[in-house]
């Protein structure tokens, strides 16, 4: 059967598959070439034509190519790696059932032993044990096969294994209780008992798992304990339990926290969250598309979620923002005097062909030895078509008002353009902005703008602003003539104590250099002089850096602590002997994570200063875009700048306001999706902003983790699912059972 009105070579793949007349007006024709019918078939099977057309209708035309690329990629991946029914889920449930059966056998075995021990104290004449545990508990289960219940046999020696644990929960020995029959005198010797060892086993609370409503919660607790034994004990053994490092250990020198507990507060993907400068529990939340909302964060331990009216944002800059995988609104920052002047700043990307006012000098220019017109390898789009910009807005009724008089929405009229710069590449341009808590200046993080290995060596070029951290004064605005004379990139002035005063080769805006893609940075709220950034690597290493004035952090000479050798370097090389690099305080190699999930991409975090989890206090928490793990680093001794790092197991609170999705094939590990950013509110609680939603670090007990410093009455939510009531009833029933059996 042929298509009407068109030959096979003329029809696009969409029309051929649908067997419809191919016309130039077909919305799908630009995306599905005639020679690639399989591509459309995969997309059609996964989404359907009407759904694809509806998606294209709901987004702007310049976003449609990116959307179609994502749709095609998802469809092809689904075709290449099909879902094999529910086999994985069935296997996981089967394993959990087997583990539950093993635990039940252990409980029944212990009950049998305790009954035997009690009866042998009441009488000198021992009789065969009648096992009644399963009947008393209302369970029709055969006696466990791991220990014989008939403890006395003629002409034989009977043994029964009972596990004993140390106070770390690890099995250290096996107690064998033995009784020998003497056939010569036909006298049964009493069972040998060891009360001290038995008491140790009974009082071992770490070996008794908490009562959970769901198998996933119980398994998460077990997994976290096992992982944590290997990942965190080393840090305590390294004598981090000094006065400064006592947060990682309890009074006995044992590791205190078992893991990091998360609660899910909201759905949706957001790129930045900033606390309200007035100190309240309100936060500004923004997405990559250009919208900002003002909302309240629920109290710790409450059942409320993060509520935002998606249709009523505080501010909407979406018509000025170029949105793509690594583009969009990247950060917001509020002036230190926002409560009186209403000034706030937005960092974003724009396309000079799509958004008005998106016009600035190209960062690839002859001053830095780069000419994009002579090198076709820079990008497929027009050179410096995309820009990074910082714009100032006001929350006041007018842009000329100096008194805060807003009614919950910002003024959409731009006050001034602080910074605009054309990008030679479409990625790796960071874009975070924040105000220094001690000096009040605006810090601007910008990457080398290259997915490649920084071929023009921008990060080491002191005349380039790429691969740098900039420090700007936005309170003193020079005249247009002065801006032109100084060669500035917008409406700002240079702080007089910037490093250029001691290094005349540096551009005056530069505070530190030698970065690949700094994402995210933060100041320690207890020690504002401590400024830390995560810097995304290229091929080998992801790093966490302690930022210092004028510091050189090595890229492209070094990638983390490793020498880097670029294969393509039209911009030349920098000799290792010519710089004094500052190496990372923490980080991880790419070969230490699962490369099948995607290339590693570190997400910098915060020094944890909240009371919610006191056992994390003082730890610097960071993670990875692909949520391989959550790491922590802690300073061995105060001001030593000697940090020790380790992985931190994490789970989701059983009473989380929004149920957490779980990673396939895991035991209760939350599926965070892609971790976009970390943030902090005015209570110093730390949040993870991910593609699957907003998560907050919660009280450890809500995940079954142990922290001796936790104030349970203030920080732990009382479960509404009836878990505590069930546990109480079970405990009461169990005690009644012991009374009936033993007395």
State residue 10's pLDDT score.
Answer: 61
Q: Count of residues for the chain?
A: 743
| Predicted pLDDT at 149 | 33
Please tell me the predicted confidence (pLDDT) of residue 406: 57
pLDDT at 398: 59
Question: CA-to-CA distance for 282 and 275, rounded, in angstroms?
Answer: 6
Q: What is the pLDDT of residue 281?
A: 93
pLDDT of residue 235 exceeding 80, the answer is: no
Residue 385 CA, distance from chain mean position: 32
Give the β-pairing of 282-286 and 291-296.
antiparallel
Sequential DSSP letters for 179-199:
EEEETTTTEEPPPP--HHHHH
- Read off the pLDDT of residues 573-592 as tens digits, 9 standing for 90 and up: 999 999 999 999 999 998 88
Choice among 376-385, 524-533, 647-656, 700-709 with the minimum mean pLDDT: 376-385
Token digits of residue 35? 């020679």
Top mean-pLDDT range of 150-154, 390-394, 709-713? 390-394
Beta-carbon count within 10 A of 31 CB: 23
pLDDT tens per residue, range 465-516? 999 999 999 999 999 999 999 999 999 999 999 999 999 999 999 999 999 9
Q: Specify the pLDDT at position 607.
A: 97
- Residue 268, burial from CB neighbour count under 10 angstroms (0-12, 13-18, 19+): middle
Q: What is the pLDDT of residue 222?
A: 44
Kindly report the pTM of this predicted structure: 0.65
Q: What does the pLDDT read at residue 245?
A: 36
**pLDDT reported for residue 721:** 35
pLDDT digit string, tens, across residues 420-461: 999 988 888 899 999 999 999 999 999 998 877 898 999 999
Q: Check pLDDT > 90 for residue 682.
A: yes
Quick: pLDDT tens for 333-347. Answer: 999 999 999 999 999
Q: Where are the beta strands (DSSP E) in 572-684?
A: 586-589, 602-607, 620-624, 630-635, 643-648, 650-652, 675-680
């Amino acid at each position: 059967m042929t298509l009407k009105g068109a030959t096979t070579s003329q029809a696009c793949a969409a029309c051929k598959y649908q067997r419809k007349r191919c016309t130039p007006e077909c919305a799908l024709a630009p995306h599905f070439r005639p020679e690639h019918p399989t591509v459309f078939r995969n997309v059609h099977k996964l989404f359907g034509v009407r759904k694809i057309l509806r998606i294209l209708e709901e987004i702007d035309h310049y976003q449609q190519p990116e959307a179609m690329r994502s749709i095609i990629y998802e469809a092809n991946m689904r075709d290449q790696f099909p879902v094999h029914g529910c086999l994985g889920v069935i296997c996981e449930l089967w394993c959990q059932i087997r583990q539950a059966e093993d635990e039940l056998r252990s409980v029944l075995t212990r009950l049998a032993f305790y009954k035997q021990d009690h009866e042998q104290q009441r009488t000198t004449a021992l009789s065969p044990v009648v096992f009644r545990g399963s009947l008393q508990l209302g369970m029709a289960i055969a006696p466990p096969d791991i220990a014989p219940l008939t403890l006395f046999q003629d002409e034989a020696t009977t043994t029964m294994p009972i596990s004993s644990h140390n106070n770390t929960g690890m099995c250290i020995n096996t107690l064998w209780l033995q009784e020998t029959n003497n056939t010569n005198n036909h006298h049964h010797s009493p069972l040998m008992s060891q009360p001290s060892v038995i008491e140790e086993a009974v009082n071992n609370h770490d070996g008794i798992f908490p009562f959970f409503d769901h198998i996933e919660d119980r398994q998460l607790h077990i997994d976290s304990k096992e992982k944590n034994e290997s990942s965190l004990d080393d840090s305590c053994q390294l004598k981090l339990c000094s006065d400064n490092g006592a947060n990682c250990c309890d009074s006995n020198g044992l590791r205190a926290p078992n893991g990091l507990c998360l609660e899910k507060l909201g759905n949706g993907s957001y790129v930045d969250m900033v606390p309200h400068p007035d100190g309240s529990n309100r936060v500004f939340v923004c997405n990559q598309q250009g919208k900002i909302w003002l909302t309240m964060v629920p109290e710790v331990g409450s059942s409320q979620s993060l509520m935002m009216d998606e249709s009523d944002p505080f501010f909407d800059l979406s018509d000025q923002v170029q949105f793509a995988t690594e583009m969009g609104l990247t950060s917001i920052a509020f002036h230190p005097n926002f409560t009186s002047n209403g000034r706030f700043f937005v960092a974003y990307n724009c396309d000079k062909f799509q958004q008005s006012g998106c016009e600035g000098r190209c960062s690839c220019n002859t001053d830095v030895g780069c000419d994009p017109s002579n090198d076709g390898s820079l990008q497929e789009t027009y050179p410096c078509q995309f820009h990074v910009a910082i714009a100032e807005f006001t929350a006041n009724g007018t842009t000329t008002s100096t008194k805060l008089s807003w009614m919950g929405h910002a003024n959409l009229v731009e006050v001034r353009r602080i910074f605009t710069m054309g990008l030679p590449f479409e990625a790796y341009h960071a874009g975070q902005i924040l105000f220094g808590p001690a000096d009040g200046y605006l810090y601007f993080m910008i990457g080398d703008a290259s997915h490649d290995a920084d071929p023009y060596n921008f990060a080491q070029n002191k005349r380039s602003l790429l691969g740098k951290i900039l420090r700007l004064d936005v309170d003193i605005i020079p005249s247009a003539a002065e801006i032109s004379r100084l060669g500035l990139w917008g409406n700002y002035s240079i702080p007089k104590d910037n490093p250029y005063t001691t290094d005349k080769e540096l551009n005056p805006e530069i505070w530190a250099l030698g970065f690949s893609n700094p994402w995210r940075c933060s100041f320690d709220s207890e020690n504002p002089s401590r400024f830390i950034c995560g810097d995304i690597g290229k091929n080998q290493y992801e790093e966490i850096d302690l930022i210092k004035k004028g510091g050189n952090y090595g890229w492209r000479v070094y990638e983390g602590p490793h020498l880097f050798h670029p294969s393509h370097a039209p911009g030349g090389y920098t000799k290792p002997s010519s710089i004094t690099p500052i190496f990372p305080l923490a980080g991880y190699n790419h070969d230490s994570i699962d490369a099948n999930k995607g290339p590693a991409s570190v997400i910098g975090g915060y020094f944890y200063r909240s009371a919610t989890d006191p056992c994390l206090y003082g730890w610097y928490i960071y993670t990875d875009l692909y949520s391989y793990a959550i790491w922590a680093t802690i300073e061995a001794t105060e001001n030593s700048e000697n940090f020790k790092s380790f992985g931190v197991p994490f789970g989701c609170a059983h009473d989380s306001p929004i149920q957490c999705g779980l990673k396939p094939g895991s035991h209760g590990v939350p599926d965070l999706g892609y971790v976009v950013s970390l943030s902090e509110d005015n209570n110093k609680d730390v949040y993870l902003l991910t593609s699957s939603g907003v998560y907050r670090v919660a009280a450890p007990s809500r995940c079954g983790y142990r922290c001796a410093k936790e104030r349970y009455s203030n920080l732990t939510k009382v479960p509404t699912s009836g878990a505590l009531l069930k546990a109480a009833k079970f405990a009461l029933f169990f005690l009644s059972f012991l009374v009936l059996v033993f007395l």
